[in-house]
Amino acid sequence: MFRRISTQNSFAHPFLAVFGKRYYKKKSWKMQRKKASSLENFQTFYAEQFGEDWPSLFESLKLPTQHCAVVNRFSTHREAHAKLSSITAVQRHNIPPFNSTPNEDEDDQNQFQLPCYLPSSENIRFPKQEKTSNGYFDYYLLDASSLLPVLALDLNPESTVLDMCAAPGGKSVLISQFLSINGCLVTSEVVNHRRANLIQVIKDYIPKISKTKDLVQVRNLTGYKYGEYEPCTYDRVLLDVPCSSERHNLQTNFEFSLWSDQHSKANANMQRKLLMSALQTVVPGGIVVYSTCSMSPLENDGVIDDVLSKCSEDKRLKIEVVNSHFASHSLADMFNYRTTRNGVLVFPSKTKNWGPMYFCKLRRFAIESEVDSQYRI
């Protein structure tokens, strides 16, 4: 009775109209100033990292993101292949994981390759994904650099895998492509609306194994807790952490105003804790792949250095960085990348417009007391 809900302009009153406009003008002016100073700090920070490569890298970061299409093996994939192969300037590649060794058995080899369509020229736009006749979507579109952390995971069909920061779910879909019904994928996401999207993506792309069994479970447990609640549980952990996402943020006015090296340091702090948890929840002998879509060394090699040094003080957690074998993979040529102290950093150029993506592969060792206890009768 007392509240009238107006469907009209909220600045209908002349005073409110003037006040409101001034308020928003002031706010947007403040935002512009904040963005300008963020941009200046950003330029200084990265010019130092990349030297003479920086100006062209900066221009490439502003280009629209390019996509590749990974065919969903759970769809009626003939329909997907027919649709994608009819696009001109797109080429099919069957992509094996980085560790794969040539296999005599052809069936086995097919199981381990991702059918992927890559643009052979710039500005290719793929048609929208659609459901095939069995009800599952035909392909997933993503920046090709997103394939890399998954290909580095050394997956086998029976792996028990945790995707610790999973929404919107592109990498979960990729992981599922390598698993058989004896494998298992747990995906975690803490933000409610992002988890809802993740659940939808999984429903759209991945079938249930049976009425009572799922290949993929979705959880809302924070990544920080896995180490404590489920120690030594997963064969493989993908930790694709929240990060500064410079390319994405550079293209969205609002978020870029938040960029600062302090912000990157705060991210690194959170990423270190997530990585410690990932290393505790993986089984001894298991693999953790840490990845970001940031170029900040604080969030990349810096996080790995800190965690390695922390683990060297902890007798229960022996960790080493292992070679991902990316550089010798047939895919490497299509990326612009640097091999860093601990991993690989892919960053876009005008002709190889993929990334940024950093990834590092870590193995947890069995500690001596565990090895002893295995042989103790």
Q: Give the integer Cα–Cα distance in Å for 168 and 197.
A: 6
The answer to whether 313 is a known ligand-binding residue is no
Say whether residue 236 binds ligand SAM (CB under 6 A): no
Q: Give the integer Cα–Cα distance in Å for 114 and 93.
A: 8
Q: How far is the CB of 225 from ligand SAM (least distance, A)?
A: 8
What is the chain's Cα-based Rg? Answer: 23
Among 67, 171, 329, 361, binds ligand SAM (CB under 6 A): 171
Q: 69: which 2 tokens?
A: 């299409």
Answer yes or no: are the C-beta atoms of 25 and 32 closer than 8 Å. no
The answer to whether 152 is a known ligand-binding residue is no
Say whether residue 204 binds ligand SAM (CB under 6 A): no
Q: Give the integer Cα–Cα distance in Å for 318 and 38.
A: 39
Residue closest to ligand SAM when measured from CB atoms: 165
Among 194, 310, 318, 325, binds ligand SAM (CB under 6 A): 194
Distance of CA 376 to the CA centre of its chain: 41
Say whether residue 190 binds ligand SAM (CB under 6 A): yes
Q: State which residue, 79 or 165, has the beta carbon closest to ligand SAM.
A: 165
Q: How far is the CB of 287 from ligand SAM (least distance, A)?
A: 16
Which residues 6+ apart lie within 8 Å of 32 measured at CB?
A: none
How would you classify the pairing of strands 282-292 and 234-240? parallel
Q: Give the integer Cα–Cα distance in Å for 44 and 260.
A: 11
Say whether residue 169 binds ligand SAM (CB under 6 A): yes
The catalytic residue among 116, 184, 243, 293 is 293
Q: How far is the CB of 167 from ligand SAM (least distance, A)?
A: 4
The verdict on whether 293 is a catalytic residue reads yes
Q: How far is the CB of 202 from ligand SAM (least distance, A)?
A: 11
Which residues 6+ apart lie within 8 Å of 218 measured at CB?
A: 166, 187, 188, 189, 195, 198, 199, 202
Say whether residue 247 binds ligand SAM (CB under 6 A): no
Q: Which of residues 63-82 bind ligand SAM (CB under 6 A)?
A: none
Could you list the active site residues? 293
Tell me the binding residues: 165-171, 189, 240
- Chain residues binding ligand SAM by CB under 6 A are 146, 164-171, 188-191, 194, 222-224, 240, 242
